[in-house]
Amino acid sequence: MDVQKIEAFVRVWAALLLLLTACLVGLDTQSKYIFYVDRKITYKELHALGALVYVASAAAGYNLLQLGRSVFVSRYLGNSKGSYRYLAWVSYLLDQMVVYIAFGTNSAAVEHSVLALSGMKEFQWMKWCNKFTRFCFQIGGALVSGYAACALMVLATSISAFNLFRLYSSEKFLRLKST
């Protein structure tokens, strides 16, 4: 397998996992009667989960755009290193940004989910997962899916770095000066 096929495979799976994350969180809802009141819980109750839906959707779209860029570059630009060098830098830097933002958003969602799991006596926050177990399990699955997508995006960023730095000549790369 060549590098482009591996990159396409990784990006497609990252996009699918990110879409799975967004769907699991965005469509998760549970209703329960608590003290004779119908209480409905959704991802909008925790702001980090709302941000996770938007960031995961945007990151999935970005990976699909990068997949299209990869096909375009291989098909139409070929081996022209001069014009591709700037595109490779932009691609690499954007890959880095998307991975960091997706990982940070996923980590913030984990932090808020831990508060929903354990509660906080000082603020009189109840433990949601005692009452809404299906909701919490589905959010947990979404977070695992989000971290798996982040790992795949790290791999895609590594491939992007390889594609960038192979454009530079290795004649003077890390060469010691002769005396």
Confidence of residue 78 (pLDDT cuts 50, 70, 90): low
> Residue 18: is its pLDDT beyond 50?
yes
**Cβ atoms of residues 91 and 160 within 8 Å:** yes
List C-alpha distances in Å: 153 to 25, 64, 149, 157.
20, 12, 6, 6
Using one digit for the tens of pLDDT, what is the confidence trace for 119-155? 655 544 556 667 777 878 888 899 999 999 999 999 9
Q: What percent of the chain has pLDDT over 70?
A: 75
pTM of the model: 0.81
Higher pLDDT, 44 or 62: 62
List C-alpha distances in Å: 125 to 10, 90, 133.
40, 44, 16
Q: Pick the closest to residue 153 from 112, 107, 92 (CA basis).
A: 92
Tokens found for residue 165: 């730095």
pLDDT, average across residues 109-121: 74
Tokens found for residue 43: 């991802």
